[in-house]
Amino acid sequence: MADEPKGCARVTGSVVGEGPPSAPVSPAPETRKETAVTARVGQKAPDFQAPAYFKGGFTNVKLSDYLGKWILLCFYPGDFTFV
């Protein structure tokens, strides 16, 4: 596990190997690379790292740190939604 996210920076998850999405000093949205959908059954799961909340603390999660374990990865629309 990497360090926990620091301070108030707006951090987000990123796909490993896409290069850091940081340093938007001179924003150039027209050159922004779209993340390609690569998830398919029978294929390697796209690796990612992202900030997370875990049992009272903030941490950084990297999917590939979990190699050797079965993973249930669940996306959902948002916190405080009803289902």
Burial environment of residue 12 by CB neighbours within 10 A (0 to 12, 13 to 18, 19 or more): exposed
Tokens, residue 58 = 């903030």
Based on the shown chain and the rule CB under 8 A, indicate whether residue 55 belongs to the binding site for another protein.
Answer: yes
Which residue number, 6 or 25, has a Cβ lying nearer to another protein? 6
Report yes or no: 49 and 13 within 8 Å, Cβ to Cβ.
Answer: yes
- Which of 2, 3, 5, 6 touches another protein (CB under 8 A)? 5
Residues forming the site for another protein (CB under 8 A): 5, 10-15, 18, 21, 34-48, 50-55, 58-59, 61, 63-64, 66-81, 83
